[in-house]
Amino acid sequence: MVAKRLALGLLTLIIISLLIFLGVELLPGDVAEAILGQSALPETVAAFRKELKLDLPAHIRYFSWLGDLAKGEFGNSLANGRPIADLIGWRFSNTLFLATVAALIAVPVAIILGILAALYRNSLFDRLISMATLSTISFPEFFVAYILIALLSVQIIIFPSISNINEQMSLFEKIHAIFLPCLTLTLVVVAHMMRQTRAAIINIMASPFIEMARLKGLNRTRIIVLHAFPNALSPVINVVAINLAYLVVGVVVVEVVFVYPGLGQLLVDSVSKRDIPVVQASGLIFATVYIGLNLLADVLSIISNPRLRNPK
C-alpha cells in the first residue's frame, strides 16, 4: 500500500511538472523580447532565444528540463545570472523556518482546543471556540495580515510590519521579526485542525469500547485523552499534514504582504521579471513539498490505523 502511494505521488509530480511547463509556455509575449527590451536587435533576440533553447520544440525543451532536474541542475537565473540552486536555497530555508515556527504554535494549540471542545461539547466554551475559529478561517490571509499590521504595528508598535531577516540575526530577533506572519498563518490553519480533532473524537466517543469505559466509571477527561484521542489519530494526522503542507506552500500571499525573503516572495518577483527558470523551479519545489507531506500523512495514517494496515 505504501509503494502504491509512492508511485502515485511520483506520477502526480510528473503531471504537475508538465502543467508548470505548459503554464509558463502559455504566458503571452516572447520571453527573449521581454528580457532584452523592445530596442534589442532581431539578431540579438534570435541569439538569446537560441541560448535559452526557445528555438527548439516544446516537448524537447520539457524533457531536457526534466532531465536536468533529475540530475539536480536547475540552471541559471535570467535576471541576474546566478545559479538557481544558490538563489533558492536561502529563500527556501527562510520559508521552512517561518512554516516550522507557525507549526510549532498551531499544531499543539489546535489539538488542545479540539480536545477541550470535545470534552465540553455543546457548552458555551465549545460554541465560542467554534465561532472564533470559523471567523478566522472565513477571512483571506491578506485581510488577517493587514488587520494584524494595523493593530500591532501601527496602533500599538510592538512588532515590525516588514519581516526582514538575515543570517546575522539571532534566533530571538528572527522570531520577533516573523511574529506577525507567523500569527497570520496560525490563525488561518488552527481552525481546520481544531475542528477535525473535535469531530474525530466525538465520532470515536460513540464506539462500544468508550461505552465500556464509561460503565467502568472512568471520568470523561481520562476517556477522551487516553482512549478516544489515540484512536482518532488517523484523521487528525491527515488534517495536520495537509495544513503543514499549506504552511509551506500557501505562504506566498503572506510573504508578499510582509515582504518576507522567502521562496514565495521570490516566485512573485520572478514572475514579474519573466525569470522563467526560477518560476519553474520554485513551482516544482512547492509541488514536491506538498505531495511529500501528503504522502507522509498517508503513511502515518496507515501505521496508526490497524484497519488500514489490514484492509482484508
Q: What is the dotted CATH code of the domain comprising 94-273?
A: 1.10.3720.10
CA 208 to chain centre: 38
Position 50 scores a pLDDT of: 77
Q: Which residue has the higher pLDDT, 296 or 11?
A: 11
pTM of structure: 0.82
Q: Are 227 and 112 in contact (CB under 8 A)?
A: no
Which percentage of the chain shows pLDDT scores above 90? 6
Pick the residue with more confidence: 291 or 304? Answer: 291
Phi, psi angles (nearest 5°) of residue 275:
-85, 80
pLDDT tens digits along 48-104:
777 777 777 878 888 888 888 888 788 788 777 788 888 888 889 999 999 899 999
pLDDT band of 180, cuts 50, 70, 90: very high
217 or 187, greater pLDDT: 187
Average pLDDT estimate for 264-283: 85
Is residue 311 pLDDT above 60, yes or no?
no
The Cα-based distances of 166 to 163, 180, 236, 271 in angstroms read 10, 17, 35, 24
CB atoms within 10 A of CB 259: 13
pLDDT score recorded for residue 166 = 84
Mean pLDDT (the chain) is 83
Whether 231 has a pLDDT exceeding 70, the answer reads yes
Residue 38 has a pLDDT of 67
pLDDT of 164: 86
DSSP alpha helices (H): ranges in 56-139? 58-70, 84-119, 124-138
Q: Scan for cell 510549532, then name that residue.
A: 104
> Hey, what's the cell of 227?
482512549
Q: What is the pLDDT of residue 62?
A: 86
